[in-house]
Copies of this chain bind each other. A is one copy, B any other.
């Protein structure tokens, strides 16, 4: 369903489980970033009303999540601050082809894969965090990430036939899995 080609390595939960403050700060910035990506897609492809409506819904939902995470951070008395992101998003964006309509397909599929990975990881956090309040919080976000993944994959079919979208999704999912297997030392949602 999520089209991920490799599961998150076990080392990840050990890494972020001990750095909840950093994880939540990064998570807040990821929700903001996800809203920004959807807004950029709305601006780029506004002549497709179906895409425009789907993007407004996603922007609004991501910003709701951003506020929820901000609330969790403030609840715990952790200072709100900027944070160096993982390289994951930038590396995936580097795979986007430059020419339209391939560019549109790739932008949507990269967004789809980021949602899928977030979804998988929120499930891991829900099932493994000793902090039950945060575990439940991540669990509550699981479903919307899965839904966003599906929307993005479907919207890619506005710009290429279904078979071509599936083929490209497989390619990008392979690349995404390689980045995830490589890992990163920082405690981040996508490290």
Contact = CB atoms under 8 A, between A and B. Distances in A.
A47 B83 CA distance: 10
Q: Is the interface of A mostly helix, strand, loop or mixed?
A: helix
A48 to B, nearest CB: 9
Given A52-B70, A63-B59, A67-B56, A35 B39 contact: yes
A32 interface: yes
A103 interface: no
Contacts of A82: 46-47
B56 A63 contact: yes
A82 B74 CA distance: 42
A120 B19 CA distance: 50
A151 to B, nearest CB: 15
A176 B35 CA distance: 31
B53 A70 contact: yes
Interface residues of A, number: 24
Number of copies: 2
A56 B46 contact: no
Contacts of A63: 56, 59-60
A66 interface: yes
Interface string A148-170: 00000000000000000000000
A7 interface: no
A37 to B, nearest CB: 11
A36 interface: yes
B47 A81 contact: yes
11 contacts: A32-B43, A36-B43, A39-B59, A47-B81, A49-B70, A53-B67, A53-B70, A56-B63, A56-B66, A59-B60, A60-B63
The 8 closest A-B pairs by CB, nearest first: A56-B63, A60-B60, A39-B39, A49-B80, A56-B67, A60-B63, A59-B63, A47-B82
